[in-house]
Amino acid sequence: MIQITPNDAVMGATVTGIDLGQPLVPEDFADILLALGRHCVLRFPGQLLDAPALRDFSARFGALQTGLVSSEPGVPEVSILSNVKEGGKLIGIPDAGQDWHTDMTYNRIPGFVNVLVAHRVPVRDGVVLGATEFCDTAAAYEGLPEALRQRLDGAIATHDLNKYWEHMRR
């Protein structure tokens, strides 16, 4: 039976009692969507997903993005982010997300969900290393002083992928 346990933080929950490598019944997927809406970030520990299973689970949320530089062979919807070398060659995109960013906000319709699977995560002295962080921008906005929120009301931001790549080439 699916269990959703909120984290002791502004956002996030752990989901257990489900095998994402198997087709989900509609009720379980509805529970996942509801939890995503409530908690913003969900963690599914102990899942052993191969690339096709990751693609199939991810597709439940909507159309998938393809076309990134490095993808799983035969599964273009699954990108590989990795600094691991095999045979002297990087197996994935080594510097994806090196700076704070949001994903897919440059699309006409921004992405709804990112689904990430970690196969190898470095640990030092029992502490997981890495810099992946998540931010609840709605909570950040609510935490702003009222005067600043009023000043920001109606503001518009433009996210342009071409400007991003122009900046990255510098």
Q: Does 67 lie in the same domain as 29?
A: no
Which domain, by its residues, includes 144?
Answer: 63-169
Q: What pLDDT, in 10s, does the model give residues 13-65?
A: 999 999 999 999 999 999 999 999 999 999 999 998 999 999 999 999 988 88
Q: Is residue 134 part of a domain?
A: yes
- Check whether residue 145 and residue 74 sit in a common domain: yes
Is residue 93 domain-resident? yes
Confidence check: pLDDT of 129 > 80 = no
In the chain, the number of structural domains is 2
From 20, 75, 74, select the one nearest 48 (Cα to Cα). 20
Q: Looking at the domain assignment, is residue 137 inside a domain?
A: yes
Phi, psi for 4 (deg, rounded to 5): -120, 120
Residue-level pLDDT at 106: 79
| DSSP code of residue 93 | B
Average pLDDT over residues 137-142: 91
The answer on 90 and 135 residing in a single domain is: yes
pTM comes to 0.80
Buried b or exposed e, range 10-22, using 16+ CB within 10 angstroms: ebbbebeebebee
Domain shared by 30 and 101, yes or no: no
Quote the pLDDT of residue 108. Answer: 80
Q: Answer yes or no: is 152 within a domain.
A: yes
> Are 103 and 111 spatial neighbours (Cβ–Cβ below 8 Å)?
yes
Count CB atoms within 10 A of the CB of residue 58: 21
